[in-house]
Structure 1
């Protein structure tokens, strides 16, 4: 039997909650992790029409991108729109889970799904998040004790590099020291210079584990005073972050690229609009699912030909173009994030081996329902 918790474990591995912004509200909104689940519905917005759909298709879990309750609440009364939705879900035995900004920055994440829908080959993040904060610890131990000390460092979490564990560098050499008054040396004699065969050990560790690793070093090391050097690795860009940069197989004019975007995304009243020279060649492209005008400067720095995102505002867009930035393609917020539903559904389907059905919502929850163009020649 597959449980709600089993599905959430897969999602939280793909989209770690720790990656969410501090202001965000991600995770299990309602439901029981121990309840069985046979069908999961993925959506952008946990709106009433999506809850209707969940009941219609027999889903026991709804996974949404946008939070139902982003701001703090003091209750969920049934006469409030969001409270009513929670009551419907609970009474119907349907759990609700949200992966929001943690899904935005994950790799793959929301912008990867958008890039894939547009036929882009992703080369990296648009605004990279910092890589893990790391230290390098160098220490010295008697040759006979070196492997025992190293094992203690590894047990405390040092030596974890990507998908590798127990990583280290070491070399044998000669160490020297002179115990003086007050010392109680494990090796050597007061006042006499000692030279001993020692092993130099170097390990990488997450900075958050520094205290644990240093405590393990001191507990395992045979010397009264442990010699070591600890260096902080400067902040480096990581593989995750907001937005993605990618390339098309071949350049195409902006007006053709805009049509590509319109054909790739679900239809909305908002449609797709582009700003820039219609004949400008487009090959290198930045994308950002959701509202992305905060990344206009990053798109310019990335040296792309076009930037695809949602909710662009008049003045920032105008100023961006006037400064010589890349062409802009503006789409509906909901449409830009909808490809993520298929990505998340695929991750769950692949991980759980078909023990649950994964469905992508067919309900359009974009709030705009009417689109009209102005007549030319009118007043």
Structure 2
């Protein structure tokens, strides 16, 4: 059975939540409808005429792309213009286009983490922190007989994660009192009679992303009709999310050696480089797409090199004078997302029992030619 378009997008947004996107970023469904079955999904960096023809030949009726096809407000929709003709072809062949852009960049295990892995950065951290996940303290009282079941439901849903530690909780025994009202069906005691019960107080921490799931699991496992629980938003925050990544290299390399790693890892024929090829690089920063405005972020955090695309002439001079090396493999280096997203989304669909298949786009959408 094929997945509906809404299901495909829900899975995609589970991996790269829309809430992670930079404000005003053009993400989400940009063309077509998700109210249909999706036999095949095509994952692309850019939606070009060649990519649309590929989708038609493949029989894909949903394209998940990184770069928006509608970036500025449309004054008209004329089909005698190049972009208008592209929209027309997509509509005529019932191909929807969904965009996952900066939310995919920011997501844990997303674009910038893939870049960091290819470069050899260990324990990467955001180059620019955008937000931190809120944390909540959950307190629930449960009869001793159901303590382990309720605790397991919470922890299996992702509660109790503090930094690199998981399954964190605290339990204390005590006596609970309650008076079941008329018409109730209490698990313990009788209506109209004050009941004293041996209960366990469970305390644990909930990241925002698992709050709803954990509470649903807790309520399902709890035997009481009315569950006594409290939820407090904490001053402490959880995981940091942001653009780019920075960290030490697993093995220091010269700038020349690291450039070869970048060329091979991002499958580019050449890269623009700023700095001495013999300089030893110990700490690197990466950022997918256009990174000219991030040289000062990299410098403040002690990076020896910034690996990003679309560095302009004057920014290159600023970096050179400030002692920051640059490797610019081009904006199209983000094409690594095609294979990665296809693998992740395909696996999620298979695990959901869907027969929908996901394919990485093959056409090269690099507009520049190296001559």
Scaled by the length of structure 1, the TM-score of the pair is 0.71
Among residues 159, 164, 181, which one is paired with 2:159 in the alignment?
164
CA contact (8 A) 2:311 2:328 kept: yes
Alpha-carbon contact 2:113-2:124 (below 8 Å) kept = no
Name the CA distance, whole Å, in 2 between partners of 1:243 and 1:204: 28
In structure 2, the CA distance between the partners of 1:57 and 1:119, relative to structure 1 (3 Å rule), is farther
- RMSD, aligned α-carbons: 3.9
Query: Partner residue of 1:110?
Result: 111
Relative to structure 1, the CA distance from residue 160 to residue 60 in structure 2 (aligned partners, 3 Å threshold; closer, same or farther) is same
Match of 1:312 in 2: 311
Alignment of 1:24-43 (within 5 A): 24-43=25-44
Q: What is residue 180 of structure 1 aligned with on the other side?
A: none
* Helix, strand or coil at the partner of 1:85: helix
After TM superposition, give the deviation of residue 38 of structure 1 in Å.
Answer: 2.5
Matched-pair contact (CA < 8 Å) for 1:296–1:320: yes
Match of 1:359 in 2: 359
- Gaps of at least 5 residues in structure 1 are 140-145, 149-158, 174-198, 214-219, 223-227, 373-379
Q: Which has the larger radius of gyration?
A: 1
Note if 1:53 corresponds to 2:54. Answer: yes
C-alpha separation in 1, matches of 2:38 and 2:115: 28
1:122 and 1:65 map into 2 onto residues whose CA distance is 25
1:138–1:229 Cα contact (<8 Å) kept:
yes
**Structure 2: gaps spanning 5 or more residues:** 144-153, 161-166, 175-199, 216-225
Are the counterparts in 2 of residues 258 and 273 from structure 1 also a CA contact under 8 Å? no
The 3 A distance-change label for structure 1 pair 242 and 203 is same
Q: Which moved more, 1:282-291 or 1:355-364?
A: 355-364
Q: Number of aligned residue pairs: give it.
A: 322
Deviation at 1:341?
Answer: 1.3
Find the aligned partners of 2:94 and 2:231 in 1 and give their Cα distance.
Answer: 56
Inter-partner Cα distance in structure 2 for 1:167 and 1:340: 34
Q: Which residue does 2:278 correspond to in 1?
A: 279
**Distance of aligned partners of 1:202 and 1:120 in 2 relative to their CA distance in 1, 3 Å threshold:** closer
2:289 is the alignment partner of 1:294: no
Question: What CA distance in whole angstroms lies between the structure 1 residues aligned with 2:134 and 2:29?
Answer: 29
CA contact (8 A) 1:45 1:66 kept: yes
CA distance in 2, matches of 1:200, 1:130: 32
- 1:71 Cα shift? 2.1
CA distance in 1, matches of 2:36, 2:158: 32
